[in-house]
Amino acid sequence: MDSARTITPTRSETAVDTPTTRRRRIARSTTG
């Protein structure tokens, strides 16, 4: 769950794991 700290998404985003949320995580991970 360390990734959650780095990304710090909204509670709703953390609760719901949708393709859109994955895209945001991947995009931020790639950009960072």
Of 3, 11, 7, 5, the C-alpha closest to 24 is 7
**Is the C-alpha dihedral spanning 9, 10, 12, 18 positive or negative?**
negative
Residue 24 structural domain: 2-31
**Is the C-alpha dihedral spanning 15, 20, 27, 22 positive or negative?**
positive
Domain count for the chain: 1
For the segment 3-32, what is each residue's pLDDT rounded down to a tens digit? Answer: 555 556 666 555 566 777 777 777 777 765
Which pLDDT value is given to residue 14? 55
In this structure, how many other beta carbons lie within 10 angstroms of the beta carbon of residue 13?
16
Does pTM top 0.85 for this prediction?
Answer: no
Which pLDDT value is given to residue 24? 76
